[in-house]
Structure formats: C-alpha cells, structure tokens
Structure 1
Amino acid sequence: MTPRSKNGKPTMRDVAARAGVSSMTVSRVLRDDPRISESTRRDVLGAVAALGYRINENARALRLGQGTRLVALMVTNLANPFYSRLALGVESELERQGLFTVVANTADSETKERALTTDFVGRRVEGLIVVPAGEDHTHLRAEHTAGTPAVLVARPPVGHGADCVLVDDFGGGRALAGRLLDEGHRRIAFLGNAEAVYTTAERLRGFLAAHDEAGLRHDPALVRHGGTDPAEALGAAAELLATGPTAVVTANNRNTLAVLRAAKASGARVAVAGFDDVDTADLLDAPLTVAAYDAQEVGRRAARMLLERLDTQASPPAPRTSVVPVEIRTYEGAARG
C-alpha cells in the first residue's frame, strides 16, 4: 500500500512511490518540463489522478474572500486595444467580489505562457483567465495548475476541457463577405494573421462560406496572412492590392488600417470590411464596414465563468462555451458623410 502523510493527504513522495520515480521527477512533470518522456509523464499523471494529489491543497479549495484574492489575466499582445478592453471587463466583474486582476503579456509565446502559468500557480492566484498563445493547452489542466481553475478567451481549449469565451468569428466573417457580395463585388480579397491562429482561421472559414452560399468559387491567390507586426501587415496588404481586388475583408483592425494605408499609398480604390471597430472610422476618407463586438463583454463573461468555478459548492459543472455576437456597422467616411 502506498504510504500517506500523517494528515491522510497524499504527498509528492506518495506520487513518486506509486509511479516508480523520484520526487524530483514528479516535480518536473507537474512543472511540465519538456525533458520528461511521455511514458514517464503518463505514469506520474496517472498516479496524481489516482491519489487525488494537488501541489497545494489550499489552492484546490479556494473560495471567494480567501487566499490571495488575485486572478491572473494572460494576453498575447498588450499593444492590441482589444486586450485593454478585455482587461477592463474582467476587472469590473472581479472587483465586485473583492478580487484583483494581475495582467501579464505572453508576447504570443507558448513557452512564456507556460512559465507564467507555473509562476502564478506558485503564487497561489485564485484563478487564471488566458488568451492562449499556442495550440496545446494541456499545461492548463487541473493537475498542472494545482486545481486552480482556468478560463480561456478567444480560442477554444485544446488537449483538455475548460470554460471558454469566444467571439462569433465564423458568423462575422460570413456576414462581412456577404455584405460585399450583395454590393456586387466578386473579386474580394482576405487579409488575416497567421493561418494557424484560431480567430483568423474561423473568420476566413466564414468568408469562404459566404462565397459558397453565393455559388462562387474564391481565388486562393486573393488570401494573405500578414502576421502580428504592423510592418508585415502593411507589406502583405500592398501585395494583396497588387492582385487587383475590388474589395478586401480583414481579420482585425490592424490589418484594416494596413489595407487603408496601402490603398492610399498606391491610389487603389477598394472597399474595405473588417473585424473590430475602428475608433476614428467616421474620420476616414473612405467608407468602412466593420464586424464590431463588445470586448469588455468578452472579459465580463470570462470573469463570471471563473467566479462560478470558484464559488461552486457542489461538483463543478461541465466545461461551458459562451459566444459573444458581432454587429455589422457601416461608416460612410468623412469625405462622403
């Protein structure tokens, strides 16, 4: 029989004994050390699950008003206005319950996100709200976070079940392309972030669906992925306009501005429809259509989901997904307005 501590709670030594490894190996597995083999990882995590071990039992039993009263919000790019509004939404809900928000920037690095997760868990934050940087989210599993609950934003969980808040990316992409098709455009381009980014992939999928529904084949040469750097986006926009589209759908406001700048520099006349509202849209020289959504509402929903996890007295509910709708808005522009 595997030994237990005096208080009956499993220890790291208990896990090590059951898995047939050292306590140091158990520690490395729980820190998600990439040097650990998959077979060893499976053995240790199996022992963790069988024994019900947690790095810190207090973290598993956190309730509102106890513990550190801190919630960690991890985002991929603090320079993006979406994340500042997201943070305001998160903060507005948490502060009502006496909780404080700590914001960290992962710079779209999965390695940094994993390190920050480990650090925040070690500091015993009450919960995590994460905009994932990568496609593998297993480091956010309960066995890796000492039972600290995590809510994902903007991208659904991969590798485990978790609450998440999404924007209607597919519906917005379809609506933007549909609006341009209704206006008579047939050569419509698409500019987004890297193809592997969930939001871009879904918005492109909606864009293509609108063409399918209209019975039109879309030219793959009219799709570009501009990256997260403004200079890269501008270069991709210039390349795209050189192919001669009559309209462009963009996956975010950074790409929208890149297309507008490239069009002004080249003298191209092109209709633009993009995701994210633009604060100065009514001052632009050209009309603009946007798929707008409430970024603060995204944050509020994520915070409410986390609060429900923290305040659950019975068994926790199954993972949930909440989708924030988009609204199509058209600005006529200063020149025409």
Structure 2
Amino acid sequence: MSAGGVGGRPEPEQSLTMRDVAERLGVSPMTVSRALRGQGGIGDETRRRVLAEVEALGYRPNRLARGLRSGGPTELVGLVVTNLANPFYSQLAVGVEEICVRSGARVMLGSTGEDPAAEREVVADLVERGVDGLVVVPSGHDHAHLAPDRLRGTPVVLAAGPPVGVDVDCVLVDDFGGSRDACRRLLARGHRRIGFLGLPPSLWTGSERFRGYALALEEAGIPVAERYVSRHRGDTALAEEAALGMLALPDPPTALLAANNRNTVGALRALRRRSPGEPPVALAGFDDIELADLLNVPLTVVSYDPAELGRAAATLLFERRDAPAALQPRRVTVPTTLVDHPTPR
C-alpha cells in the first residue's frame, strides 16, 4: 500500500517504504535497492532518478513499523567487524550490545572478512535495512562510503581504527603505547634480538604496533633488523611459519613480540616445536589470550578490555544520534596494561 501525504507525497519517515519510491518512479523495488547500494544492473540515468527521488522524499525506513513487526525495540544498530574467528570481536560485540540494550536497541552483526569491498556491501545493506546507527571496524583506508551523505544521515562510529577522509567519531586502543611498553619490558629483561610478528602496515593497528616496537628499540640504541620482522594478516599458521623462520636464523631472536592474539598463538605453536635443549625464547603479545596463565611458556601480554571498546563506541553513537550537529568528531583511546603470566609451578 502506498503511503499518503500532503499533495500526494508520502509522509516522511513514518510511512514511506522502498516500494513507495519504486511505484512513484515506475521501477521495481529491486531497482531502487540496486541504486541505493551502488550496484550494477541499472542505467546511469535510472540511478540518478532514483537517488534524486530518495533525496527529495527524505526516504528513511519506518522505525515504528519495524518495531511492531519484531515485537521488540524500535531501533537497530549495525555492527560491522572484520574477522569473526578472532575472539576480540566477540568481546567488542558484547560491549556494543550492553549499551544498546540499555538504550532499547538491538544489534545486527555483519562480517567483512577483512575485505574493503565486502565492507562497502555490508554497510550499504545495513543502511538499506534501516539501521539507526553503525559501529564499524574498518578493513581498509578508503572510508568514503562512511561519509554522512553516503549513509543518508545514519550516524557512524569507527572502532579500532581512525577515520580517513571523513569526519566521524572513533574509539581506538592505545596500540602504539601498548606495543612500546611490551618491547621495553623485553629489553629490560636483557633481550637485544627481539623478533616482531606484526600485521600489515596498511592497517592502523599494524602500523601503530610496529611503530611502538621500533621506537622502543631506537630508545635502546638498537636498529630494527628486517630479518626479525614479519608483517602479515593476523593468521596463526602464517605467524607460526614466520616465527620458525626467525628461530632458524644463525643469530635467532631471544624474544618474540606478537602484534595480536592470533599471532601469539602462532608463536606458541612454533616454540612448542623446538627441541628441549634449545635456548628458551621469551614471548610477549598484544591482546590477552584465554588460558594464558596455564601455558608452559612465560608470557607477557598487552591487556585491555575489548568490551570497553564496544561500550565506548556505542556510547558515542547514541550521543551522536541525540545531538548530531552540536558535537565535533571525537576520538576516545582505551588504555592498555602489561600483564605477566609466569610458567605455572
């Protein structure tokens, strides 16, 4: 059923649907969907007509009808993460959901597989489904699709990475400080050859955690040796392979610093494969890992609360929703601490 309004136009927000937009233009709802998502399969002129009509009508999903259909809260928050296999994101989601529940909202989760193209599709789909806000863990450096005009006014907060080219709120971990502190701890214990199992430099976490490692070495008068550095996607198998390669060198590192929990697991697997008579290798890693206190290897971790990251992001999101024009883009940094897990007796 088409919505009625003044002059035959549908009333804004309360009753306008994608089908109404399609009927006014004489096209299918799928055509409207493709135009809004930037997909192919339609002509440029049709796309321009659809976008112009959407802008003129102020099309937004019907929140009240959505709540009546679901029998629950009338607001939805989209959470977009990069890797569901990483426990970090489950804890982040717990924090986001905690604040959303308090605010009478539900969370819709989307995963991008660390693919920027997939991220654009997931974000467009969530906006099309009518989410009232987005928390996004960015997977690339092109954030143009997260600009307010591209999201039709949907507020967005970035988590674990800063915005590039768009003015939006973000919540970060102290990646630089945590990595520097961990490397300093290893240096204070007498290590001078410290291997780094890092993340790609294209990632914010990858560049900042490497920067902390490099600065700690520089402060100690030790140059960064490329043979002790590996920078790849956080993958346990790749980290294990990289660690084994470093430990097979004629002058192997006496300590390893892993840039995230999955790299730490890879390093632990590499150390487990060493012969009993080989010299011990110290290990430090960013992100705490479950059962770290039960390992047979002494481990220092850069610890913080991923759930707090989620809570902070959701809090910024609801504040932005309530006062969109009154607030300048904000940046919140979640602190880190070093935790030593000695070998159990």
Smaller-chain TM-score bracket:
0.7 to 0.9
Of stretches 161-170 and 238-247 in structure 1, the one that deviates more from structure 2 is: 238-247
Indicate whether 1:321 and 2:331 are aligned: yes
Indicate whether 1:299 and 2:303 are aligned: no
- Cα contact 1:281–1:331 (8 A) shared by 2: yes
* Separation in structure 1 between the aligned mates of residue 147 and residue 40 of structure 2, nearest angstrom: 16
Q: Which 4+ runs in 1 deviate beyond 6 A?
A: 4-9, 25-29
Q: Of 45, 56, 59, which aligns to 2:60? A: 56
* Separation in structure 1 between the aligned mates of residue 288 and residue 281 of structure 2, nearest angstrom: 18
SS at match of 2:273: helix
Q: Deviations over 1:65-84 (max 9, x none)?
A: x9941111011111111001
Indicate whether 1:100 and 2:110 are aligned: no
RMSD over equivalenced CA pairs, Å:
3.2
Indicate whether 1:89 and 2:95 are aligned: yes
Residue equivalent to 1:258: 266
Residue equivalent to 2:67: none
Identity percentage over the alignment? Answer: 46
SS at match of 1:266: coil
- Structure 2 portions without partners, runs of 5+: 1-6, 13-30, 64-71
* Separation in structure 2 between the aligned mates of residue 211 and residue 35 of structure 1, nearest angstrom: 54
- After TM superposition, give the deviation of residue 233 of structure 1 in Å: 2.1
- Cα contact 2:176–2:208 (8 A) shared by 1: yes
- Cα contact 1:282–1:332 (8 A) shared by 2: yes
* Separation in structure 2 between the aligned mates of residue 166 and residue 29 of structure 1, nearest angstrom: 33
* Separation in structure 2 between the aligned mates of residue 35 and residue 177 of structure 1, nearest angstrom: 52
- Cα contact 2:73–2:104 (8 A) shared by 1: no
* Separation in structure 1 between the aligned mates of residue 40 and residue 306 of structure 2, nearest angstrom: 34
- After TM superposition, give the deviation of residue 124 of structure 1 in Å: 0.9
Q: Of 80, 86, 89, which aligns to 1:80? A: 86
Residue equivalent to 1:19: none
- Cα contact 2:236–2:265 (8 A) shared by 1: no
Indicate whether 1:141 and 2:142 are aligned: no
- Cα contact 1:67–1:124 (8 A) shared by 2: no
Q: 1:221 to 1:35 in 2, by over 3 A?
A: farther
- After TM superposition, give the deviation of residue 52 of structure 1 in Å: 8.8
Residue equivalent to 2:255: 247
Q: Of 273, 277, 290, which aligns to 2:284? A: 273
Q: Deviations over 1:289-326 (max 9, x none)?
A: 010000110000000000101122x7231111000000
- After TM superposition, give the deviation of residue 57 of structure 1 in Å: 8.7
- Structure 1 portions without partners, runs of 5+: 10-24, 60-65
Q: How many residues align?
A: 307
- Cα contact 1:73–1:101 (8 A) shared by 2: yes
Residue equivalent to 2:22: none
Query: How do 1:1-337 and structure 2 match up within 5 A?
Result: 31-32=37-38, 55-56=59-60, 68-243=74-249, 244-267=252-275, 268=278, 269-312=280-323, 315-334=325-344, 337=345
* Separation in structure 1 between the aligned mates of residue 336 and residue 8 of structure 2, nearest angstrom: 53
Q: Deviations over 1:192-248 (max 9, x none)?
A: 222222102100100001111122212121101242332222212211222300001
* Separation in structure 2 between the aligned mates of residue 27 and residue 252 of structure 1, nearest angstrom: 38
- Cα contact 1:128–1:149 (8 A) shared by 2: yes
- After TM superposition, give the deviation of residue 5 of structure 1 in Å: 9.7
* Separation in structure 2 between the aligned mates of residue 53 and residue 217 of structure 1, nearest angstrom: 60
Q: Deviations over 1:44-97 (max 9, x none)?
A: 8xx98xx898553978xxxxxx99411110111111110010000001111011
Q: 1:27 to 1:310 in 2, by over 3 A?
A: same
Q: Deviations over 1:132-163 (max 9, x none)?
A: 11111110111111110111000101121110
- After TM superposition, give the deviation of residue 327 of structure 1 in Å: 0.5
- Cα contact 1:54–1:143 (8 A) shared by 2: no
Q: 1:252 to 1:172 in 2, by over 3 A?
A: same
Q: 1:5 to 1:274 in 2, by over 3 A?
A: farther
Q: 1:35 to 1:231 in 2, by over 3 A?
A: farther
* Separation in structure 1 between the aligned mates of residue 219 and residue 309 of structure 2, nearest angstrom: 29
